[in-house]
Amino acid sequence: MKKGDLIKVVKLAKGKTEIKLDRIYPIQDFRNENHSKVLYMIDGEVMKEHNTYANELVIEAYKAEELTLIIGEGYVATEDKEMTDKFLSYHQWSGGDGIYSFNLTDAKDGFDQEEAKKTLFVFGDTFVGTSDKKTNRRYQPHLMPNNSIGIMENDHIEFKVNWQKDGRVAGFYKMDPRFDDSGTVVTNLTYYDRKVKNNGYLSGYDPDHLDIVFDLHTPRYVSQISFYNYFSEEADHLAKRGLKAFKILGSMDGDDYTLIKGVILDQATHLGHVQDIELNAKFRYYKLSIPTSRGIGNHNDESFSEGLYGLNLVKFFDHNQQYRDIYATSNSVLLKDPEHSWIWLQDGAIVKDHLYFLPMVINSDPSQPEGLQFRVVGVALFKTPIKNHMIEPERATMKMAPLLVDTKESQFLMGGAILSNTKQAGAKNPDGYIYIYGYKTTMGFRELVVARVLEENFELFDDWRYFNGETWVPQIADAKPLLPHISCEMSVSQLLDGQFKDKYIAVFTYDTNTPYVAFAIGETPYGPFTDPQKIYHTPEQALYKSTTYTYNAKAHPHLSQSTNILVTYNTNTYNFEHNMSNNLIYRPRFIRLIDTTKS
């Protein structure tokens, strides 16, 4: 489909005529003096002035006329049935969502690749089992690991699930037990800016010795540490568990420590009681060495002597910047239970010979409706070696990522899309930065935000900077929204040809799980962006009925041309039995955004 092609010839009657089209088109201006009113609409929604995209028109004419509707400049979405059918499988792997793609041949991530590349697809929750080819019914047992992969070479896709030696199936990526616990664990001390209640840290009873170590992952200058001493709203006297006298030591290697200073903390009088300690030191590891004598290392006295040592929160600062990328350990803990979290993969980036993912960390939440019984509790970083053009998930390492932050009214979460503007990724004008996109959610409404970091510092989250509309700042909550109505998963990519050459196209589902794929055009990776434009109405809800929905559209640039963009969206249903009754539902769909000025 190209600019100037015929859409439809319509006979207008005198008065009002309603016209329905077979899809959303950019329509060449046809208005003339015979028209008293023209409305461009998408499924009943009137478009803004000067917006010529529509799948419905309402025209009021003074007299009858024959009207020719012609394709104008813009995009037209068409179905790519051939690609969609490649993801229909009746045995073992039988559907997944969360589809992202990566170029394993040479890591080039942009449009207009000269030849086909070995492609890695990664999926979120995945059905594994056997389905009936005649009825499409899924046979029991049907399993659901939290992630799987596919490899496409020479136009053929091989789906892979992580089979265990005993025959069970698991995800290729799962939580490291070190980061999957709850209770009075020491990691609570660096659990910042979350609405979920933080129980603080408590040692075991009368430990032989007590050390708490904070790993900042690289040497960091610390001007100040803020200690929130232990306090429980259960009873004021429990504040006597709080730390009293201890030493702060620093180390570059985690073995040899240097004394920085001794500290005496006051007993907390309320929740949020904070005491700032000036430090002015630069180390990677900071250790609290606490004497385990009641009344010395803690505030126990004759009125309350228990033998527990506690803190609620510890914050590290370089003047105005609070560090958040911190891993805390201790040699003693009172209560520690597995959290049983799982992950949902988000976008990733290839840096040198590793693939990095930023998956969400998920817990179950039975209080939510069917199909939504989960809650996001954090973000992690997985680092996977690439060898001989293939990932090695069994050698992946993990750390937590401080990329989920709650404020009073909103929540910020990063990782839904990544743009590598680097030489390795084949960027046209590389600046060495990786741009990481996320969203600010307020009352369910999501807006795009962006961070960036030099590729060599991708793992160091305290080196990330967030765009506040004018400059790049260290705190995620200062990020300014760039684009409304986005989805949790999406894409931002530079166009190298066509009507928007050298600009950036964001592709997403309008408001996450509506039936609309949308796009916006940006001047830079951080905007400004045009208003979101709905471009495709997904048909699956009408086709499969019940609680079917579509969500999380995104482009796959290394599989596309700038003027012929391959886009996926996911299809699911909130009803589990509905999913079991039809294996056609839960799998990716592929469409193409065709640039009408170049097709």
Q: Is the pLDDT of residue 16 over 90?
A: yes
pLDDT the model gives residue 419: 98
Rounded to whole angstroms, how far apart are CA atoms 454 and 505? 22
Assign 10 a pLDDT band (cuts: 50, 70, 90). very high
pLDDT the model gives residue 279: 98
Assigned token pair, 559 = 């599989």
Assign 369 a pLDDT band (cuts: 50, 70, 90). confident
Mean pLDDT of 496-505: 98
pLDDT the model gives residue 49: 87
Rounded to whole angstroms, how far apart are CA atoms 186 and 129? 41
Beta strands in 27-143 (DSSP E): 35-42, 45-46, 53-61, 65-70, 75-79, 91-96, 100-103, 119-123, 126-130
Bridge partners of residue 587, in order along the sequence = none
Assigned token pair, 473 = 């700042």
Mean pLDDT of 140-160: 96
DSSP letter at 538 equals: -
Rounded to whole angstroms, how far apart are CA atoms 209 and 481? 48
DSSP reduced 3-state for 438: strand
pLDDT per residue as tens digits for the range 80-136 = 999 999 999 999 999 999 999 999 999 999 999 999 999 999 999 999 999 999 999
pLDDT the model gives residue 37: 96
Q: Is the pLDDT of residue 438 over 90?
A: yes
Beta strands in 141-257 (DSSP E): 148-153, 156-160, 162-163, 169-170, 181-183, 201-202, 210-229, 245-251
pLDDT the model gives residue 373: 80
Rounded to whole angstroms, how far apart are CA atoms 434 and 393? 22
Rounded to whole angstroms, how far apart are CA atoms 125 and 346? 12
pLDDT the model gives residue 197: 82
Rounded to whole angstroms, how far apart are CA atoms 370 and 574? 6
Q: Is the pLDDT of residue 200 over 80?
A: yes
pTM above 0.85, yes or no: yes
Report the relative pairing of strands 516-522 and 45-46 from DSSP bridges.
Answer: unpaired
Rounded to whole angstroms, how far apart are CA atoms 206 and 201? 15
Tell me what percent of the residues of the chain surpass a pLDDT of 90: 95
Rounded to whole angstroms, how far apart are CA atoms 46 and 254? 63
DSSP reduced 3-state for 262: strand
Average model confidence (pLDDT) across the chain: 96
DSSP reduced 3-state for 425: coil
pLDDT per residue as tens digits for the range 371-425 = 778 889 999 999 999 999 999 999 999 999 999 999 999 999 999 999 999 999 9
Assign 558 a pLDDT band (cuts: 50, 70, 90). very high
Closest CA to 530 of 544, 519, 520: 520
Q: Is the pLDDT of residue 370 over 80?
A: no
Q: Is the pLDDT of residue 315 over 80?
A: yes
Q: How far is CA 417 from the centre of its chain?
A: 6
Rounded to whole angstroms, how far apart are CA atoms 30 and 393? 56
DSSP reduced 3-state for 238: helix
Mean pLDDT of 472-495: 98
